[in-house]
Structures are given as structure tokens and as C-alpha cells.
Amino acid sequence: MKQLITTFVFLFFSISVIAEDGSKLWLRAAHNNNAIISVNQKGPTLSIAQDELSTQWKGMPVQLHINKKKKEFQGRSPESYTIKTQGKNKILIESPTQQGLLYGAYHLLRLQETIGTKDELDILETPRYNYRLLNHWDNLDRTVERGYAGKSIWNWDELPGTISPRYKEYARANASIGINGTVLNNVNASPQILSNEYLQKVNAIAGILRPYGIKVYLSINFSSPAELGGLPTSDPLNKEVQQWWKNKADEIYKLIPDFGGFLVKANSEGLPGPQDFGRTHADGANMLADVLKPHKGIVMWRAFVYNPGDEDRAKQAYQEFMPFDGQFRDNVIIQVKNGPVDFQPREPFSPLFGAMQQTPVMAELQITQEYLGFSNHMAYLAPMWKECLDSDTYQQGEGSTVAKVTDGSIYPQKITAIAGVANIGNDVNWCGHHLAQANWYAFGRLAWNHELTSEEIVQEWVAQTFSLPINDEPNYLLSKTMLESREAVVNYMMPLGLHHLFAWGHHYGPEPWCNIPGARPDWMPSYYHKADSEGIGFNRSSTGSNAVAQYHPSLQEIYDDINTCPEALILWFHHVPWDFKMKTGSILWEELCYKYESGVQDTRYFQLIWDVLEHHIDEERFKAVQSKLKIQTRDAVWWMNACLLYFQQFSQMAIPFEVERPIYELDRLMEFRLDITNYENAMR
């Protein structure tokens, strides 16, 4: 970051920037054009594509053509499209479907707003995943679990009679980045969502999203037959229970013929599931799959299942699901969090990726920043997701990346999918932090094409969101800052593979000392960091919990040896002595101190760079982000002080003189209890 300071002198000049509130997201192109756009068919989705281009496109005439016989589309997704320049006076966009043409229209507009369209166009685009979904953790009372941008955008009390204009804007934003499905409600689902009253409301939302190519899905509570239907049981092998679900599926599809299917969290964190009746995950998933099959619906069954006990929590999803590989119906897909624990700032990829070879598996990524500073911290997450998707599982030889074992490239899957837990709320700027909009955008772009780089995506987003051209210095500075932000968060929170040091319950701020009497051990930070006088870190090697054995032998060998284990994950897989010599030449304790210091210093450079961009950003958004960056820097110092002072009790080593001195006392930090509703004044 420091080298960027030398460029600052060139950026202090005044330009006119129109004030904005962030509500337009990345779709800020002027709508005052009157371009010539022709179509060869009619339909609601095609009309949207035509309208988007006619009002925003600034170039030559465009033809939108449905073409089901084009050779480029044979064997490809019906959402595929081509964009080609025809001579000097026409652009032709073709697809087998209206939905593909809509994506093609948004692609052309994205080119116009980013790199331009002066060169001859010859583009073929095919999505890597069939199902590209947002998962809303929204409750029926409009609270949002792990949501930091206001209330739910779904106003259930007013539906179906009143339709918020935000629903259409939501649909438009998702379609512009290729998202084609949304799960409307929390995985900790209320059975009430399946009542006829709420299904009428769901139908109203579906009607708004449908023309944009977006299907609706619902999270279901496994005990719905008993709690909603009044049956004495919800046993998936009970005939009455099966009939109840069949009737409910028929009711849903009569209202919503293109309903997508169910997302299920079962036998996890106290939620009901098939194991309550002595049945298996396969029994439960297959029962639901059978009632959805006639309607072409799917079941997304979450692998986030763990139970209290002596077994390493990081091993439990693998242990729960591997025995059932090949036993699920072909319209079931297992939804797996990117890492084996729980959306930590850094985890190795889940060993279920690639290991399950006879069952479709999809990645679940968390867009909302539950463990990364909520909407107060800048944390551009594409590098985190790429780290997972590009990881080599080695399950079918070198190059068997997580992306390729989930997108159908390696295993012939009938269903390919990817999901992102949404960071959307009813805040004017949608995401609580203007820069957090980039994560929504990045998820959509990677879901469409996981080969895009984090840099390409953020440069696109910056260009469209702040009107900063890709090849100009301001775009470079902001993009580079955002690209480095996730690593900074890892460093000032939990470097070198540390994980789950968060405060109890709300997961904001550090509490490595947290010890709630009677609480589950695997909800306590000490379960994960295991700091003592000898060292720190969770021993998952062959001499410990042996979680390394769940990975392919090529990775087992690397992870199992403390000398070859990647240092970014060394405390994930090993309990490391405080005086262990790291690759930099420093001992572990010193390296830990330097990492925390680096994270804090990065947040200060982020502030500096943002301030330099003041004349390139409108005042409203500039001040809002500036305020968030101040909070982030204070939080980074809080994290560094809390963790180093606490762990110093075990290492009994001095903080290196190069590292910034703590400004808090450990006793005060350990007594502090954060009022999450009034955070901004809490640490001043």
C-alpha cells in the first residue's frame, strides 16, 4: 500500500461529481437515450431487454434474436448468448431464450460503462452453474439474521396487496449480474411460510421477479407437517407425512408454476430433521425430492450439521454426509459452506468438495459479513471466494479445483449450483456500507463465470458504481485498496489460521477469553485457539484430531507436516510452539504480532487512499465511507490489543518494539460488553 502514496500528488484536482445515496447500485447509466433496438419475438423478458438497451445504449442499432438452432448453443445452457458486430452498423445478440437475451443486453451495457465497445465484438457466454442463487436469511417479522443493512426488503405485512418498487429494482440488479434464483426466507425457517396466507405473498413476489428470469425458492422447517399441518409426526417415512408434503407441493405449484424448490437446514443447531425420527439425511432429502420431482423442483440440503461432543467440529459435516454419497435423488444437491467450520475470515476449503463424487455438491458463500466486521468494515470478498473455488482438491488428479468439481466439468452432475447468503436490507444503499455492494456484485459475476479474477470484477464494479474509468488512476487506487482489504481483515482479526475468536452471540469484536458457563465448548474461542504456555493453534494433524485425513493424500501430506503446511493455515492444522521458526525468520509469537500490526496499518492506509479520492466521489457517499473507515481502524486496534495482550499471557514474550504499543489494558477489554445497537459510541 505504501507505494501508492507516491501517486497521490496527481489526484488533487477538483471535478464535478453529482451527489448520490447509493440506491442505484452499479446500474447508474443515464436513461435518456433513444437507441434503435429490434426483436424477432415478443415476451415480457424480451421487452425488459429491449427497454434497457433503448434507454441506455449509446451505440449502433442492436438486434435481439431468439435462435434455438445456432450451433454455438448446442449442448450449452439455454441462458447462453452471443454478441457479435455485424458490419459497421449493427450488433446482433442471440440466445435460445429470452432470459439469455436479457443477460446479453446487460453484458453489452456493462461493456459500454467499463472498457467500451469500440472493438469488433465476438462474444460467447455460458453460465458455469445452472442455479445461481441468493439465500436471504430474512424472517417473517422483517428482522434479518446476520443482516446489517436494515430490515428485510420483503414487507410481509403489506403483501400481497402492496408491492414495493424495491422488488423490481432488486430483480433488475440481480438479472444484471446473472443471478437466477432467490431463497426468500431464513434457513432457520418458520413453518408459517408454507401456510396459504404466506404462499399468496410469495406468489406476489414471484410475479415481480419472473420477467427478470429469477425463480423463487423457500427455506422450509422439517417439522411443518406437525407444526403447520397438525399431524402427530414429521417422520419422512410416514405415509401421511409424505402425502402432506405432496399436497403442499401441489398447492405451491398451482400458485407458482415455476417455483424453484426447497432449501433445508435440518438437525443443525437445534432445528428439527429426519434424525429426530431415527432417519437419515438421505431419507429426509429424498422424501422432499420425490414430491418436487413432478414439478421439476430441486432440494438444496445443507451440510452445515454438527453436534456437541468430543469430535472436532471441523470434521463433522464430512462424517455426516460421506456415508450417504450416491444415495440421494438426482434432484437433490448438497449445499456446503466454503470451509469446514463456519464462514471464518480464512478457512481451508471443505473436504466434502471433490470427495462426494456421486452426489451433486454446491458451494455456499456468505456475502453478508457476519464474521468480517458487519457493514462497518470494508472487506471485498471475491479474493476469499476465489481462494476456495481455485483450491485444488486433487480428487481426480491435479487441477480438480473446487470450482471444477462443482460446475460439472469433472463429475457429471445433473444439477450445478452456487449460493450466496445475501447482504441486502431496506437501507437506502441496500447493503449498509457502500463498498459492500461490491460483494453482491462479485458473487453474481463469479456465479456466472468463476474464472473471472477478483481484479477484473472490482475494476468493473468501481467503474460502474463511481464512474471511475478502468484505466485511470482513481479506479486503480480504489480497486487495489479493496483487493487488499480482506487480507487486512484476516491480519487484524485472526492471522495464520486462527479462527472463531469472536464475541459471544453477535460475532462482532474480539473475545478470545470468552467462557460462558454451561455453553457448548465448540461455541467458545478457546476450543479453537487452544492457547497455553507451549503454543497456540488446533492440532488437526495425524497426532491430533486427524482432520487432515479427510483431504486427498496429496494435501494430507502437506497439511500434516508443520514445516510444509501453508503458514496462512498453520494454526488451523497445528498447535504451534511460540518459538517455532517461521519462513520469515521470525518466531511464531513475533510473526503473530507483525501480522496484527500489518492489519492495523493497512486500515490507516485505506483511510488515506479514500481521502485522496475525495474529489472523485460524490460528497454523500464519500463521507459515509469515510466514517466507516474510521470505525474499521478503531476496531482493528481493538482486535490487535485484545488478542496480543490476551495471548501474551501464555507466550510470556515481549511484543516486538517495531509493533505499535497497546492503548488499552487487558482487564478493561475483558470487562467490556459491546452494545451492538449503539456500537459507534461504544469504544470512544
The answer to which of 83-87, 439-443, 670-674 has the lowest mean pLDDT is 670-674
- pLDDT-derived band at 682, boundaries 50, 70, 90: very low
Which runs of consecutive H residues, i.e. helices, occur in 293-408?
Answer: 313-321, 352-355, 382-389, 402-406
Report residue 85 as a C-alpha cell: 458486430
Q: Is the pLDDT of residue 14 over 90?
A: no
Each residue of 216-233: pLDDT tens digit?
999 999 999 999 999 999
Quick check: 590 and 647 in contact, CB under 8 A? no
Task: Say yes or no to pLDDT of 160 above 70.
Answer: yes
User: How far is the C-alpha of 456 from the C-alpha of 441, rounded, in Å?
Assistant: 12
| DSSP label of 260 | -
Give whole-number Cα distances, 246 to 191, 224, 225, 252, 625, in Å. Answer: 16, 13, 11, 10, 50
672 or 404, higher pLDDT: 404
* Nearest residue to 170 via CA among 189, 154, 147: 154
pLDDT band, residue 684 (cuts 50/70/90) = very low
pLDDT, position 336: 98
Residue 683 is predicted with a pLDDT of 38
Q: Which amino acid is it at 597?
A: E
pLDDT tens per residue, range 519-535: 999 999 999 999 999 99
φ, ψ of residue 58 to 5 degrees: the values are -110, 5
Q: Taking residues 110-128, report their average pLDDT.
A: 94
Within its chain, how far is the Cα of 645 from the centroid?
A: 32
pLDDT at 681 over 50: no
The pLDDT value recorded for residue 677 is 66
Instruction: Answer for the pair 99, 174: CB distance below 8 angstroms, yes or no.
Output: no
Per residue in 452-476, pLDDT (tens digit) is 999 999 999 999 999 999 999 999 9
Which amino acid is present at 396? Answer: Q
Averaged pLDDT score across all residues of the chain: 95
Using CA atoms, how far apart are residues 467 and 605, in angstroms rounded to an integer?
23
Return the HEC string of 621-632.
Answer: HHHHHHHHHHHH
* Coil, strand or helix at 58: coil
Residue with cell 451492538: 676
At 473, the amino acid letter reads E
Mean pLDDT of 330-345: 98
Q: What is the mean pLDDT of residues 550-576?
A: 98
Residue 387 has pLDDT above 70, yes or no: yes
φ, ψ (nearest 5 deg) of residue 230:
80, 10
d(CA 103, CA 307): 43
Above 60 in pLDDT, residue 363? yes
Query: What DSSP state is assigned to residue 272?
Result: -
Q: Which residues contact 223 (CB under 8 A, 6 or more apart)?
A: 191, 234, 272, 276
Active site residues: 269, 342, 370
Q: Is 190 helix (H, G, I), strand (E, B) or coil?
A: coil
Average pLDDT over residues 79-107: 97
Query: Are 603 and 492 contacting, i.e. CB atoms less than 8 angstroms apart?
Result: yes
Q: What is the pLDDT of residue 307?
A: 87
Phi/psi region, residue 399 (left: phi>0; alpha: psi -120 to 50; beta: rest), is: left
Say how far residue 417 (Cα) sits from the centre of its chain. Answer: 13
Q: Which of 139, 251, 250 is nearest to 184 (CA)?
A: 139
| Nearest Cα to Cα of residue 536 among 574, 564, 565 | 574
Question: Using a CB cutoff of 8 Å and minimum separation of 24, what contacts does 265-268 make?
Answer: 265/187, 265/188, 265/189, 265/219, 265/302, 265/304, 266/222, 266/301, 266/302, 266/305, 267/305, 268/302, 268/304, 268/305, 268/306
Per-residue pLDDT band for 3 (boundaries 50, 70, 90) equals low
Report the pLDDT value the prediction gives residue 310, as an integer from 0 to 100: 87
Which helix (H) or strand (E) segment holds residue 609: the answer is helix 588-612
CB-side neighbour CA atoms (13 Å) of 637 = 14
Can you tell me the distance from the alpha carbon of 253 to that of 256, in angstroms, rounded to the nearest whole number? Answer: 5
Cell of 217: 425458492
pLDDT digits (tens, 9 = 90+) for 461-515: 999 999 999 999 999 999 999 999 999 999 999 999 999 999 999 999 999 999 9
Q: Please say if the pLDDT value at position 624 is more than 70.
A: yes
Which residue is listed with cell 399468496? 200
pLDDT tens per residue, range 199-218: 999 999 999 999 999 999 99
**Which residue type, as a one-letter code, is found at position 384?**
M
Residue 13 pLDDT > 60: no
Exposure b/e, 578-599, CB count within 10 A at least 16 = b: bebebeeeebbbbbbbbbbbbb
Yes or no: say if 324 and 360 are a contact pair by the CB < 8 Å rule: no
Torsion of the alpha carbons at 675, 678, 679 and 684, rounded to the nearest 10: -100
Residue with cell 470484477: 457
Q: Name beta bridge partners: 395.
A: 397
State the burial class of residue 291 (Cβ atoms within 10 Å of its Cβ: 0-12, 13-18, 19+): buried
Q: Distance of CA 375 to CAs 139, 146, 198, 355, 620, Å?
A: 19, 10, 30, 35, 17
pTM (global) more than 0.95: yes
pLDDT of residue 106: 98
Q: How confident is the model at residue 323 (pLDDT cuts 50, 70, 90)?
A: very high
Per residue, the 3-state secondary structure of 515-559, as one string, reads CCCCCCHHHCHHHHHCCCCCEECCCCCCCCCCHHHHCCHHHHHHH
> Would you state the pLDDT for residue 18?
74
Average pLDDT over residues 42-54: 98
Give the contacts of 505 (CB within 8 A, at least 6 positions apart). none
pLDDT value of residue 9: 45
**386: CB partners within 8 A, 6+ apart:** 446, 450, 453, 454
Peptide bond into 160 cis (omega under 30): yes
Give pLDDT, residue 680: 44
Give the chain's domains with CATH numbers: 31-125 (3.30.379.10), 131-452 (3.20.20.80), 490-538+575-681 (3.90.1330.10)
Report DSSP letters for 279-312, one per residue. Answer: --HHHHHHHHHHHHGGGT-EEEEE-----SSSS-
Distance separating alpha carbons of residues 639 and 491, to the nearest angstrom: 10
Q: How far is CA 379 from CA 98, 338, 450, in A?
A: 35, 17, 19
Span 278-300, pLDDT tens digits: 999 999 999 999 999 999 999 99
Name the CA dihedral angle for 282, 288, 292, 296, rounded to a multiple of 10 degrees. -30
Amino acid at 644: L
Query: Per residue in 130-164, is it b (16+ CB within 10 Å) or e — as a string?
Result: bbbbbbbbbbbebebebbbbbbbbbbbeebbeeeb
**Mean pLDDT of all residues in 554-574:** 98
